[in-house]
Structure 1
Amino acid sequence: MISVVILGAGNVATHLFNAFYNANDITVSQWFNRNISHLSSYKNKVAITDNLSELKEADLYIIAVSDDAIANLSSQLTFENRLVVHTSGTVNIHDLDKKNRRGVFYPLQTFSKTAELNFADVPICIEAIDKSDRRILKGLAKAVGSNSHKVNTNQRKALHLAAVFVNNFTNQLYRVAHEITEAEGVEFDILKPLILETAKKVQILSPYMAQTGPAKRNDKKTLKKHIDLLKDEQHQAIYELLTASIQKTHRVATGATVRSKKTK
């Protein structure tokens, strides 16, 4: 049985609590947040506190707060030589105060409090100074049904950057598509099967092999029609940039860049 104290009450902390609470081999000993009112709905499930000096002894302390607050919070912990980890994709393991054993428990997934999440679908990237602590983190991931991956700081940062492209940037492209369809009174929902099929395709093919569309085949007439249809200059710029990126990747001989008359 692994005993855990969670520090923070954001999206990641909330999902971790729910996963730990429902796991057979994990006990959440306590949950800390500076604003204890954010934890009030959980007070019948776990001991809550807003006082760092009252933290209980546990096998593991998980700091799940904003990146900028991690180092400061770890320095304020009143104990020493216990295992303290953060959940960030970008913060260096050495930013944690060295008075404690240090590690990283980074769940590589998008988190929203209102969206249910199965941790079997959440890869956990783990990092630790000591091998024995790495085993604890691996056991924690296993207890919630996640696959764990040993990574170093540079690898974790690269994964986080890549995640921004496949998640945050992709979601913004969904938003652009929603604006385009909405402007013509077309339901965005019609695109959802395509979104799912695109995601399914890269489960069996590399993104390089899965690429299709007018940019790859250098369909200049279609490319120009698309640019001319776009009313927003920022949307035009995104379209042109991504078209150029696809064509560079696939070594498409393009000649002059196709631009709208409006942007000349």
Structure 2
Amino acid sequence: MISVVLLGAGNVATHLFKAFNKAIEVSVNQWYSRNLKPLESYKNLVNITDDLTKLQDADLYILAVSDDAVSDISSQLPFENRLVVHTSGSVSMYDIDKKHKRGVFYPLQTFSKDADVDFSQVPLCIEALNNKEDRPILKKLAKAIGSQPHKVNSDQRAALHVAAVFVNNFTNQIYRIAHEITESQGAEFDLLKPLIKETARKLDDLSPFMAQTGPAKRNDKKTLKKHIKALEDQHHKAIYELLTKSIQKTHGSLIRRVNNSNKNN
């Protein structure tokens, strides 16, 4: 049994608590938040507190807090030489106060409070300053909630976090732009959802490079010009042109072959 004290009341903390609470091999001894209101609905399931000086003993203390708060809260913890980890993709393990045994327990997923999370589909990136003693605890904790643990170093985790912004946050913004474009002409955005799902599904079998299609890759200049002309919003035009140039840079050799073939014909 792994005993845990959870610190933070945001989306990550909430979903971790729900997963830990269901896990046979995990006991959440306490849940801390400086504001107890978000935790009120859980007070019959776990001891809650807003006082760091009253934290209970546990095998592991998880800082599921904002990136900026990791250093400050870890320095305020009223003990030392215990395993303290954060859940951030971008914060260094060394931002945790050096009086603690330090580590990272980073679930590589997007979290919304009202959306259920299946942790069996969530990679958990783990890192520990003391690999021999502490990494096995993090590995066991990840497996206890059905997740697959992955040992990563700080540079790899930082790269994954930046990449996650591209595939999640930026992609969602592209969806929003597509929604605006369809709305402008009274078309149904829902008609694009099968395409969205198939685009993601293809990555099970193909690399992003091999899965790329479309007028930019084909260097279909007629269609590219038609799209630019059809876009009424200058912001949309700029993004379309930027992404077109990015695709053309990636697939430049193919585009050159197309251009040469057109010249020869």
**Using the alignment, how far apart are the partners of 1:179 and 1:74 within structure 2?**
43
Which residue does the alignment assign to 1:165?
Answer: 166
Which residue does the alignment assign to 1:136?
Answer: 137
The answer for unaligned runs of 5 or more in structure 1 is 256-264
Which residue does the alignment assign to 2:263?
Answer: none
**Using the alignment, how far apart are the partners of 1:150 and 1:73 within structure 2?**
25
Which residue does the alignment assign to 1:262?
Answer: none
Residue 38 of structure 1 deviates from its aligned partner by 1.2
- The alignment of Structure 1 onto Structure 2 pairs a total of residues equal to 255
Higher helix share: 2
> Deviations 1:98-151 (Å, cap 9, x if unpaired)?
111000000000000000110001000000011210010000000001111111
Matches within 5 A, 1:137-156: 137-156=138-157
Which residue does the alignment assign to 1:23?
Answer: 23
SS in structure 2 at match of 1:90: coil
**Using the alignment, how far apart are the partners of 1:69 and 1:155 within structure 2?**
22
Matched, 1:239 2:240: yes
SS in structure 2 at match of 1:176: helix
Which residue does the alignment assign to 1:229?
Answer: 230
**Using the alignment, how far apart are the partners of 1:103 and 1:248 within structure 2?**
39
Residue 203 of structure 1 deviates from its aligned partner by 1.2
SS in structure 2 at match of 1:103: strand
> Deviations 1:52-76 (Å, cap 9, x if unpaired)?
0110000000001110111000000
Which residue does the alignment assign to 1:84?
Answer: 84
Which residue does the alignment assign to 1:195?
Answer: 196
> Deviations 1:203-253 (Å, cap 9, x if unpaired)?
110000000000000111100010011111111110001001101101123
**Using the alignment, how far apart are the partners of 1:230 and 1:186 within structure 2?**
14
Matched, 1:248 2:249: yes
Amino acid at match of 1:175: R
**Using the alignment, how far apart are the partners of 1:248 and 1:37 within structure 2?**
51
SS in structure 1 at match of 2:204: coil
Residue 46 of structure 1 deviates from its aligned partner by 0.4
SS in structure 1 at match of 2:164: helix
Runs of 4+ in 1 over 4 A off after TM superposition: none
The answer for unaligned runs of 5 or more in structure 2 is 260-265
Q: Give aligned-pair identity as a percent.
A: 69
**Using the alignment, how far apart are the partners of 2:188 and 2:6 within structure 1?**
42
